[in-house]
Amino acid sequence: MKRLLVLVFALTLCAGTAFCQKREPGKVKTVVIDPGHGGDKPGALGKHSQEKELTLAIATKFGQLIRDNYPDVNVIFTRTTDVDVSLAERANIANRAKADLFISIHINSHPTSVPVGMETYVMGLSRSRSNLEVAKKENADILLESGYQNNSEYQGFDPNSPESYVMFALYQNAYLDKSLNMAQYIQDEYKANIKTTNRGVKQAEFFVLYKTSMPSLLTEVGFISNPTEEAYMISDAGQATIAVCLLNAFANYKAHEENTPKPAKMTINLPGYGKNKNTAPAVTKHGTAVDSTSKAIAKQDEALAATILASQGEEVPKAEIEVPKSKVGTPEADDEWHPVPTKDEQVIEGVTYRVQFLTSEKPLKEGAKEFKGVTGYQSYQQDGLYRYTMGNEPNMARAKTLQADMRRKGFSDAFIIAFYHGKRISLQEARELQDD
């Protein structure tokens, strides 16, 4: 009985890992860098690139920077060319090397081109549907592996089966605190050096993190579905900046773990960095770079609205498509944002469509000239701005009619947004919910 208790205790410490590893306490001597996807698993697809190409390019630059600045650190890649490496083998590479840190690099995607930003995950149970969906997309590579059903490494895991994710509930991570520290260092660097949305540190059920036996994380360095962010990640300047952010985060983590100072000066020898640093396009939700693509985003949402109408057998009102100006606002980038309703807002169950026609930095009094005589509006707050909407329409056809009416009243930039149980969602999500 005593031996059984000892065994249970040992398994608890190593839960979710292939086996326990012995490594020198407080030292960061071996780092495994994992460029996501590869070979017949391209990952997310952009208009001009594939996830597997960009992750390998960024990972290679990151590894080079560590070697240049920390010659005593052993840098191991799960792949250095366009080859297919199973998720289980990626974790096994790190486990066999007795790595002190595992960093998996990936790129996000979305059905629309609106979302932007960078986020970093550690292993844990998802706290939102969107976190779980990201994990499902990355875990889906398993389905492309021949004979995965009979692979004991996967324990019968099916990325598309909700029941399969129950296995993660028993996971206990002895390295969670260290993983969270490194993840936060990364997000801090992104926030300080790249003008995009900081989507934060999150937890989700990534199989490759579940199988590793060391501090581990997975970072999504941007949205390949967003034209501006894809261009940034393709560019030398963008890749170099992301790699430098990862290097600085690693330096902070290593210094903290070993209680030693960071190098006084880092060696950065990458194309697009240094003198050419300012040539990198800014990726910002409200800055000029996104403003330059706002026309494409607006057209996309209009096209989606027309598609929804057509699928419902409705006629599309012939209103001129106007591009929202930055003062008025555009469809928001953060698909996990929760609105702060004002007292006069009525929350209606289910999917509803509204027409957003005005945005202000300060709350507007009823009857203010900006409303041009319009009454019966609603308002909500986001990013410190007050946004005013009309209607709570049950379908896109009625929302388009209301939009045309608001444009005739002088709000030429009015556009349609969707809500679900009072929470702002994308038009794509609204369509999927109504299709169900």
CA atoms within 13 A on the CB side of 40: 7
pTM, two decimal places: 0.56
Q: Which pairs count as long-range contacts for 271-279, CB under 8 Å and 24+ apart, including other chains?
A: 271/236, 271/240, 272/235, 272/236, 272/237, 272/238, 272/239, 272/240, 272/241, 273/236, 273/237, 273/240, 273/241, 273/244, 276/236, 276/237, 277/237, 277/241, 279/237
CATH of the domain at 18: 3.40.630.40
Are 253 and 323 part of one and the same domain?
Answer: no
Tell me, yes or no, whether 238 lies in a domain.
Answer: yes
> Which residue range forms the structural domain that includes residue 325?
293-435
Tell me, yes or no, whether 287 lies in a domain.
Answer: no
Give 11-64 pLDDT, tens digit per residue. Answer: 344 444 444 445 555 789 999 999 998 998 898 999 999 999 999 999 999 999
Cα of 219 vs its chain's centroid, Å? 8
Give 102-146 pLDDT, tens digit per residue. Answer: 999 999 998 888 889 999 998 775 554 555 566 556 556 555 555
Give 378-433 pLDDT, tens digit per residue. Answer: 888 876 788 899 988 888 888 888 988 898 899 888 888 888 877 888 777 777 77
Are 17 and 95 part of one and the same domain?
Answer: yes
CA atoms within 13 A on the CB side of 141: 26
Q: What average pLDDT does the chain have?
A: 74
Supply the pLDDT for residue 360: 86
Tell me, yes or no, whether 316 lies in a domain.
Answer: yes
Are 35 and 59 part of one and the same domain?
Answer: yes
Higher pLDDT, 347 or 288: 347
Mean pLDDT, residues 291-296: 36
Are 129 and 256 part of one and the same domain?
Answer: yes
The b/e string for 379-389 (b: 16+ C-beta within 10 A; e otherwise) is: bbebeeebbbb
Instruction: Name residue, tokens 């002895």.
Output: 174
Exposed (0-12), middle (13-18) or buried (19+): which is 434, by Cβ within 10 Å?
A: middle
Are 95 and 229 part of one and the same domain?
Answer: yes
CATH of the domain at 349: 3.30.70.1070
Are 231 and 354 part of one and the same domain?
Answer: no
Q: What angle do CA 39, 82, 60 make, to 5 degrees?
A: 140
CB 390 within 8 A of CB 406: yes
Are 412 and 331 part of one and the same domain?
Answer: yes
Last residue of a domain, one of 223, 253, 279: 279
Of the spans 2-6, 15-19, 154-158, which averages the highest pLDDT? 154-158
Tell me, yes or no, whether 288 lies in a domain.
Answer: no
Last residue of a domain, one of 234, 249, 279: 279
> In total, how many domains does the chain have?
2
